């Protein structure tokens, strides 16, 4: 007979001695199976006990790309040291089980066993449970359960749960694994006569490995459209990188930006802030650049390119340190000199596009592509089709009389330029209108300028004199009447300015939108019913909030959601802070920038059974720190309820 349970062996021997087990032993066919199972079989973690699971969800594919089995616990880099998970040890198709023991073996360089116990509610939880013996040096855990006076049990159910703590996570390219082995000597099943029940074993496996992120970084030019005002102007073009996943462990970036060399002359590179934010523990950042690629086979005739590389240098020991670059930010600022001007109505444009080059300054003979590198000098590709370039217009001299109507937003968002649109305004916000009057590019002083603003029933007319630099200014506040204000005010407004000089008349028009700065369009539950279970945890509420803005300039936004139960008690809330929401570039007039927030709110044990309500709001910052709302409050249209299971 195999080793018996430590805690009940003396009792069983005594009972055998007095003849309580005198039945004739039964021969069993091998039909039972003992298996290590992964409880996260749906990969949503809703059904697992959160007291024993703080790791991320598990995955369906193993390191070798083969499908994971029922006993395979597969984690990626989103799981970290000290996270915990558990496995189930299950027995299937057992007959007359009265006494059992589990001994599971594991690799202590990867895992620590922190707990083990008979599975809650299992049909195989007998009268006597043995002490749990955990050996985190040799790598084993052993425990079990045996009957006293109750009859044997047949069927399929869990025997026990074993809780593990992960000793180390993975970084770029790493992979660790070990088998979770049921020891075939000290794991056994006995019937009521203490006869061994034969069974097969299905072991489990633990793996944790790094998986390349699905997101790849891309570069973007800002502003997307640049209008130069004068010859010799300092044309500052910002280069941003976005969509950076820290799992890539990026330490270097490079790109090439092409431009028409007859319109622009490269001057200098100004350091950005993105890579600098991740230089820590003795690391530093350096830049390398070049701009002598005229005639490169990859460039159109007359075009040059500007190559820039930025790298985080390791510390004095040659090491890089976490945190690694994440999300996105300003890589650098390129300063050009505007070298060509035109006379209206002739315009001169050039694209500012990310490109590859056949003349690689680092490796002659190789192509130069936009890419990122990690500390192993592995390349993280950046697709040219994902990168977002821009366009530049050379300064244009306007001969004769001209007027430019614009508002207080900075260029180009304020409608600077002839018949250009402006960024959106909030209801009741003040609008400052400026009209710059010139003749042959020189300012015209002390001229009367007429202003008019129209929207539906609203028409405002004003007048102002130009000052010593040729600018006239008026202001007004967007109205908000008592009756149907949103229907009467929200929408497109048109501003126009007109001036007369020596019997010549010039005018300019500036459309703009009046809308909520950030508008919540809906908040809805993802389920109709949420169950409150005691003493186990309840189902969390799950919601989807949709929100949008017309703003081309980005604004900060704080989204809030609060849940009330049927009796009006506040039973949960959540907030989301977005530092910059909106298009972030000019050129999206009358187009919504939209986003979605999916989130969970825990259900407290005191939530009343019945119908619930969720309320959503958007603020510039929380009212506690003097923030104000951006839009009216929104509540759910679809009903949802708290129920008992």
Torsions phi, psi for 219 (to 5 deg):
-100, 155
Q: With a cut of 60, say whether residue 294 has pLDDT above it.
A: yes
Torsions phi, psi for 432 (to 5 deg):
-100, 125
Specify the higher pLDDT residue, 23 or 288. 288
How many percent of the chain have pLDDT more than 70? 94
How far is Cα of residue 614 from the mean position of the Cα atoms in its chain?
24
CB neighbour class for 89 (10 Å; exposed up to 12, middle 13-18, buried from 19): buried
Q: How confident is the model at residue 29 (pLDDT cuts 50, 70, 90)?
A: low
Rg (CA), the chain: 35
* Segment holding 594, helix H or strand E: strand 593-601
Mean pLDDT value of segment 342-353: 92
* Alpha-carbon gap, residue 425 to 430, rounded angstroms: 8
- Domains of the chain plus CATH, in order, are 9-209 (2.60.40.680), 218-396 (2.60.40.680), 399-514 (2.60.40.1940), 519-643 (2.60.40.1930)
pLDDT at 28: 60
pLDDT at 8: 40
Q: Annotate 374-396 with DSSP letters as a single string.
A: ETT--EEE--TTTSB-EEEE--E
Centre a 10 Å sphere on the Cβ of residue 302 and count the other Cβ atoms it contains.
Answer: 12
Mean pLDDT value of segment 7-30: 41
* Alpha-carbon gap, residue 624 to 643, rounded angstroms: 34
Mean pLDDT value of segment 326-355: 94
pLDDT at 46: 79
Q: How confident is the model at residue 138 (pLDDT cuts 50, 70, 90)?
A: very high
How many percent of the chain have pLDDT more than 90? 82
pLDDT at 4: 42
The predicted-structure confidence for 497-513, as pLDDT tens digits, reads as follows 999 999 999 999 999 99
Mean pLDDT value of segment 591-604: 94
CB neighbour class for 96 (10 Å; exposed up to 12, middle 13-18, buried from 19): middle
Q: With a cut of 70, say whether residue 537 has pLDDT above it.
A: no
- Pairing between β-strand 396-397 and β-strand 342-343 as defined by DSSP bridges: parallel
Q: With a cut of 80, say whether residue 20 has pLDDT above it.
A: no
Q: With a cut of 90, say whether residue 365 has pLDDT above it.
A: no
Specify the higher pLDDT residue, 144 or 22. 144
Mean pLDDT value of segment 465-470: 97
| Contacts for 500-507: CB closer than 8 Å, 24+ residues apart | 500/447, 500/448, 501/401, 501/437, 501/439, 501/444, 501/447, 502/401, 504/400, 504/401, 505/401, 506/401, 506/402, 506/403, 506/437, 507/403
Average pLDDT, the chain: 92
The predicted-structure confidence for 174-211, as pLDDT tens digits, reads as follows 999 999 999 999 999 999 999 999 999 999 999 999 99
* Alpha-carbon gap, residue 252 to 250, rounded angstroms: 6
pLDDT at 10: 31
pLDDT at 362: 64
Mean pLDDT value of segment 517-526: 98
Three-class HEC string of 468-500: CCCEEEEEEECCCCCCCHHHHHCEEEEEEEEEE
DSSP state of 15: H
Mean pLDDT value of segment 365-391: 91
Closest by alpha carbon to 524, among 607, 644, 633, 615? 615
Q: How confident is the model at residue 422 (pLDDT cuts 50, 70, 90)?
A: very high
Specify the higher pLDDT residue, 103 or 537. 103
Q: With a cut of 70, say whether residue 19 has pLDDT above it.
A: no
Query: 0.75 cut: is pTM over it?
Result: no
* Alpha-carbon gap, residue 322 to 330, rounded angstroms: 20
Q: With a cut of 90, say whether residue 344 has pLDDT above it.
A: no
For the ranges 158-167, 306-315, 327-336, 337-346, which has the lowest average pLDDT?
A: 337-346
pLDDT at 538: 72
* Alpha-carbon gap, residue 24 to 322, rounded angstroms: 66
Closest by alpha carbon to 70, among 100, 54, 44, 90? 90
Q: With a cut of 50, say whether residue 18 has pLDDT above it.
A: no
Length of the chain: 645
Mean pLDDT value of segment 459-479: 96
């Amino acid at each position: 007979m195999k080793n018996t349970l430590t805690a009940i062996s003396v009792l069983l021997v005594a009972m055998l001695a007095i003849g309580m087990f005198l039945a004739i032993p039964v021969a069993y066919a091998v039909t039972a199976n003992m298996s290590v199972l992964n409880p996260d079989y749906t990969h949503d973690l809703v059904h697992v006990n959160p007291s024993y699971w703080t790791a991320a969800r598990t995955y369906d594919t193993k390191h070798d790309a083969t499908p994971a089995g029922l006993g395979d616990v597969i984690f990626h880099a989103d799981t970290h040291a000290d996270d915990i998970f558990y496995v189930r040890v299950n027995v299937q198709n057992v007959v007359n089980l009265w006494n059992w023991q589990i001994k599971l073996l594991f690799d202590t360089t990867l895992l620590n066993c922190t707990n083990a116990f008979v599975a809650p509610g299992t049909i195989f939880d007998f009268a006597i449970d043995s002490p749990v013996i955990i050996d985190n040096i040799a790598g084993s855990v052993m425990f079990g359960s045996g009957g006293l006076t109750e009859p044997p049990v047949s069927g399929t159910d869990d025997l026990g749960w074993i809780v593990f703590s992960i000793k180390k996570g993975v970084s770029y390219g790493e992979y660790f694994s070990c088998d979770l082995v049921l020891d075939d000597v000290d794991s056994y099943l006995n019937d009521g006569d203490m006869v061994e029940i034969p069974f097969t074993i299905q072991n489990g496996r633990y793996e944790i490995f790094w998986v390349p992120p699905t997101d790849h970084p891309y570069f973007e030019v800002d502003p997307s459209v640049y209008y130069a005002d004068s010859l010799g102007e300092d044309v500052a073009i910002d280069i941003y990188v976005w969509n950076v996943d820290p799992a890539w462990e990026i330490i270097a970036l490079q790109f090439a930006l092409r431009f028409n060399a007859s319109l622009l002359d490269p001057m200098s590179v100004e350091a950005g802030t993105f890579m600098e934010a991740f230089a820590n523990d003795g690391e530093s950042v350096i830049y390398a650049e070049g701009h002598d690629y005229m005639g490169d086979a990859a460039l159109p005739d007359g075009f040059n390119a500007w190559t820039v590389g930025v790298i985080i240098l390791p510390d004095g020991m040659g090491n890089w340190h976490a945190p690694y670059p994440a999300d996105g930010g300003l890589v650098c600022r390129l300063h050009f000199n505007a070298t060509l001007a035109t006379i209206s109505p002739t315009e001169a444009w050039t694209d500012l596009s990310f490109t590859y080059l056949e003349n690689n300054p680092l490796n002659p003979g190789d192509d130069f592509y936009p890419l990122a590198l990690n500390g192993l000098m592995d390349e993280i590709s950046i697709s040219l089709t994902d990168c977002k370039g821009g366009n530049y217009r050379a300064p244009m001299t306007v001969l004769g009389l001209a007027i430019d109507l614009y508002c207080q937003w900075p260029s180009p968002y304020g409608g600077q330029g002839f018949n250009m649109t402006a960024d959106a305004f909030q209801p009741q916000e003040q609008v400052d209108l400026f009209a710059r009057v010139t003749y042959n590019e020189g300012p015209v002083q002390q001229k009367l300028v007429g202003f008019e603003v129209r929207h539906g029933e609203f028409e405002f007319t004003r007048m102002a004199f130009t000052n010593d630099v040729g600018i006239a200014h008026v202001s007004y506040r967007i109205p908000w009447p008592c009756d149907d204000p949103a229907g009467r005010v929200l929408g497109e407004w048109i501003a126009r300015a007109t001036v007369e000089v020596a019997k010549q008349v010039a005018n300019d028009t500036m459309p703009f939108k009046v809308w909520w700065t950030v508008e919540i369009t809906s908040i809805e539950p993802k389920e109709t019913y949420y169950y409150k279970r005691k003493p186990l945890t309840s189902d969390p509420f799950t919601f989807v909030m949709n929100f949008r803005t017309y703003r081309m300039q980005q604004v900060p936004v704080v989204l809030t959601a609060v849940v009330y139960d049927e009796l009006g008690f506040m039973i949960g809330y959540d907030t989301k802070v977005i530092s910059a929401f909106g298009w972030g570039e000019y050129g999206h007039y009358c187009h919504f920038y939209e986003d979605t927030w999916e989130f969970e709110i825990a259900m407290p044990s005191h939530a009343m059974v019945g119908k619930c309500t969720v309320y959503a709001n958007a603020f510039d910052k929380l009212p506690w720190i003097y923030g104000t709302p951006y839009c009216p409050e929104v509540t759910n249209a679809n009903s949802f309820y708290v129920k008992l299971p």
